[in-house]
Amino acid sequence: MVNVDVPALAEAVRSSHQILLVPFQLAFSFYYLSTLFGSGLYPVGIVAGVFLLIAPGLMFLIITSQEKYMKSGDVRLARLREILEGMKMIKMRGQESYFTKVLSDVRQTQLKAVFGMLVGLFGFVFMVLVVPYGMMIGTFMVYGKVLKLIRYFFD
């Protein structure tokens, strides 16, 4: 292990318990809030649950895309080094088109990885921005139905 990796590893060990505890904390919080507020909290729980189901998939997409990008970047650098070291031989043999195609293929792999990262990142940011509004809208819909029932019985 390199000394540079020690702080990152220590942080990972410190925060690894959250993988197990956060879902339980959210479940207990929603349970006790639902007993306090009643059925008005169910839309909030549903929207938050959907977000908690989708968010890990988006994070997985971002992480795998980053790994693909880094691997293809290494391949690209190796090919560039190979081209630069053998530039005279490539020019003499007329193999420019072959190496251009090799580099463009590696670049296409990188662009696909960047696209995957952006889709995951935009999806995650979109969910983070939409979830609070979804919770509010769901709560108002439930309370709106409750208010209509109260007006129906007491008018």
Domain ranges of the chain: 1-35, 42-139
Q: Give CA separation, 57 vs 51, 61, 86, 89, in Å.
A: 10, 6, 43, 47
Query: What average pLDDT does the segment 46-68 reach?
Result: 81
Considering the chain, what is the average pLDDT of its residues? 75
Residues 103-131: tens digit of each pLDDT? 888 888 888 888 988 888 888 888 878 87
Query: What average pLDDT does the segment 33-44 reach?
Result: 69
Helix-helix angle 42-85:96-154, to 10 degrees: 170
15-24, 44-53, 59-68, range with the lowest pLDDT:
15-24
pLDDT of amino acid 152: 59
pLDDT of amino acid 1: 47
Range 102-112 burial, b when 16+ CB lie within 10 A, else e = beeebeebbee
Query: What average pLDDT does the segment 32-60 reach?
Result: 74
33-37, 50-54, 66-70, range with the lowest pLDDT:
33-37
